[in-house]
Amino acid sequence: MVRSLLHPRTKREAGQALPMFALMVFIILGFCAMSIDVGRYVWARTSMQAGVDAAAIAAAQDMPDWAAAQNTAATYWTDNSGFIQSQGTNVQFSVTQVPGNKRIRVEGDADIPTWFAKFFGVPQWHVSASGDAEAQVLDIAVVLDISGSMCKHPALPSFLEIESGNALMSPGRLTPYTPGGVSPAYQFPVLAAPISAPTGSSITITLNDVRMFASTNATANQRNFGSNWNSSTPYWQRTFSSGGTVRSGMILIKNSSGNGYEIFKITAVNVASNTLTVTRAQSAPGYGFTPPQSAHSSGAEIWANRYTGPNGSDYCDAVSKYKASSSVNGPHEPFDSAVNSAKYFISLFNPSYDKIGLATFSSDGAIRQNLTNSFSSVDSSIDNVFYPAGSTNIAHGIARGRAILDGSGKRANAVRVMVVLTDGIPNQYCTNGYESSSCSNGSTSDPSSCPAPSNTSIAAAINQAAVAKAGDITVYTIGLGAGVLDCILTDIATAGGGAYYKAPSPADLDDAFKAIAERTHIALVK
């Protein structure tokens, strides 16, 4: 007989297995239950921290208005701590001021009842969190492009370069032209009767005043059509060439629908009846097409060529309705929109804490206002830039912004920020360095696309941004319109430790400025 090597299970051992199994099930269920409650604790802690951080960041923006800061903190706490509000007991929330740069502290406490852990002697979890935020003390240099493209931009055509030369189509001067202006003072020309479409090629149109087109007064012609129109030959008969032919007697009238225009050629002027004989549907050599005949409403503006030469310092002024003065100016677009948005940006800060200065650049840079907490003075300095002209020396603009932030009014406790707005590409640089307010210029041509090959003007702008960063200044760039190359402005901002913001049109400028203000204004410090 062979004895089995297996020990037979007794009834007593079989009876022990069931309690062991029950115990293991109980332990496993306990672990599962505890894991659920632990998860609730972790989520409660996360929700608590998110709530106090959101409240602190939002409230800091209202400082030094303590009452407003408290109300804002309470609102953001409620909106961002839903789990705590719904699941917690003994919920506590407090807002206190902390010594520092407009600093605020938000704290929260709550008990989170457990579901299963209470069976193991843990009836609740206690969670707490705190968040400190401060609206930073800022020294800011706003650096604005005032080059000629800021009133003549292919993507933002306030005024149109219809000819193949360097003339711009624009409205005439409004009467009175300027106090003490030369005589005769012609009325601003508009249609006195509508034009239907289509009609014959040659038609007679009626204006409120046609005298400027027939004037033989050289001074008046120069006043109305630009410095290079200083001639007794009337506008409708004069042709001249400079970098292309500017045809005689060309005028433009916008369509009744407002989304297009038609070009006419004046062939006769009748001052007595205020009429022009014109040939319709003329070509636009500057754009390579011929706008068709279209309808035009009574009161439509009559645009004409204004010309001061390719480097004329007054061409932006010459094409505007109003002569530049301390009280009236322009319009010049997108320059006017850039000015308004820069003022909006300034309004986002607090003169009780922050200081702002202004620099501009075209062929070279200039300091317009040193650091000050008188924001009205900065606004006035912006208004004193009557019209844009010149090339685009971004490097010297950054250098002048750096001089502002390193100059009088600099504060050791301030975060230092520079914001550079341009609608173009660096095409000018200083051959004598960037530490001086004077600049001996060198020029380069504009690259046409990204990635842009570097040239001296681009390299200088990137280098000046890097110099600013090394001096503890963060440089942000804003590119306005389609005339910029994003890659260049991104490289400048990267070298300056900041970021690039795109504004496809003037309407987008406020958003770009606001984004920079929000990025620089508040810091979560704990």
Query: Would you state the pLDDT for residue 4?
Result: 45
How crowded is the C-beta side of 39, counted as CA atoms within 13 Å?
8
In a domain, 445, yes or no: yes
Domain match, 263 and 341 both: no
In a domain, 325, yes or no: no
Strands (DSSP E) contained in 56-164 are 89-98, 103-113, 124-135, 138-145
Domain match, 119 and 251 both: no
Here the CATH number for the domain that contains residue 453 is 3.40.50.410
Domain match, 260 and 340 both: no
CB 441 within 8 A of CB 383: no
Per-residue pLDDT band at 141 (split at 50, 70, 90) = very high
Domain match, 479 and 388 both: yes
Which residue segment(s) compose the domain that 475 sits in? 138-149+332-524
CB 412 within 8 A of CB 510: no
Instruction: Report the chain's mean pLDDT, rounded to a whole number.
Output: 85
61-75, 215-229, 449-463 — which one is most confidently predicted on average?
449-463
How crowded is the C-beta side of 443, counted as CA atoms within 13 Å?
7
Domain match, 283 and 337 both: no
Domain boundary among 314, 344, 365: 314
Rounded distance between C-alpha atoms, residue 102 and residue 80, angstroms: 23
- pLDDT greater than 90 at residue 364: yes
Domain match, 115 and 25 both: yes
- Rounded to 5 degrees, φ, ψ at 305 are -75, 130
In a domain, 10, yes or no: no
- Rounded to 5 degrees, φ, ψ at 496 are -90, 5
Long-range CB contact pairs, 200-204, < 8 A, 24+ = 200/280, 201/279, 201/280, 201/281, 202/267, 202/277, 202/278, 202/279, 202/280, 203/277, 203/278, 203/280, 204/275, 204/276, 204/277, 204/278
In a domain, 250, yes or no: yes
Per-residue pLDDT band at 29 (split at 50, 70, 90) = low
45-54, 460-469, 513-522 — which one is most confidently predicted on average?
460-469
- pLDDT greater than 60 at residue 525: no
- pLDDT greater than 60 at residue 310: no
In a domain, 324, yes or no: no
CB 281 within 8 A of CB 265: no
Q: Is 210 helix (H, G, I), strand (E, B) or coil?
A: coil
The pLDDT > 90 percentage for the chain reads 46
Domain match, 361 and 223 both: no
Q: Which helix (H) or strand (E) holds 464?
A: helix 456-470
Domain boundary among 279, 314, 349: 314
Domain boundary among 314, 346, 362: 314
CB 45 within 8 A of CB 127: yes
In a domain, 85, yes or no: yes
Query: Would you state the pLDDT for residue 179?
Result: 47
24: left (phi over 0), alpha (psi -120 to 50) or beta: alpha
User: In the sheet that 497-503 helps form, which strands lie side by side, from edge to edge?
Assistant: 365-372, 355-361, 138-145, 415-422, 474-480, 497-503
Digit-coded pLDDT (tens) for 237-288: 988 776 667 899 999 999 988 788 999 999 999 999 999 999 999 999 888 8
Q: Sign (positive/negative) of CA torsion 323, 326, 329, 334?
A: positive
Domain match, 95 and 175 both: no
Digit-coded pLDDT (tens) for 462-482: 999 999 999 999 999 999 998
Query: Would you state the pLDDT for residue 237?
Result: 94
In a domain, 290, yes or no: yes
Mean pLDDT for 171-180 is: 60
Rounded distance between C-alpha atoms, residue 478 and residue 492, angstroms: 11
Domain match, 288 and 348 both: no
What's the pTM?
0.70
Rounded distance between C-alpha atoms, residue 277 and residue 71, angstroms: 69
Rounded distance between C-alpha atoms, residue 371 and residue 354, angstroms: 9
* CA dist list (Å): 122 to 29, 38, 356, 413: 16, 11, 57, 48
User: In the sheet that 89-98 helps form, which strands lie side by side, from edge to edge?
Assistant: 89-98, 103-113, 124-135, 522-524
Identify the residue with better confidence: 164 or 506.
506
Identify the residue with better confidence: 369 or 522.
369
Rounded distance between C-alpha atoms, residue 63 and residue 44, angstroms: 29
Domain match, 351 and 500 both: yes
Identify the residue with better confidence: 24 or 492.
492
In a domain, 177, yes or no: yes
Q: Which of 407, 402, 442 is nearest to 420 (CA)?
A: 402
Domain match, 481 and 339 both: yes
Q: Domain tally for the chain?
A: 3
Q: What DSSP line would sit under 361-402, residue for residue?
A: ESSSEEEEEEEES-HHHHHHHHHT-----S---HHHHHHHHH
Query: Would you state the pLDDT for residue 22?
Result: 56
- The residues, any chain, with a CB within 8 Å of residue 27's CB and separated by 6 or more, are none
Coarse DSSP helix, strand, coil percentages of the chain, rounded to the nearest 5 percent? 35, 25, 40
- pLDDT greater than 90 at residue 173: no
Beta bridge mates, 98: 103
DSSP class of 419: E
Domain match, 466 and 388 both: yes
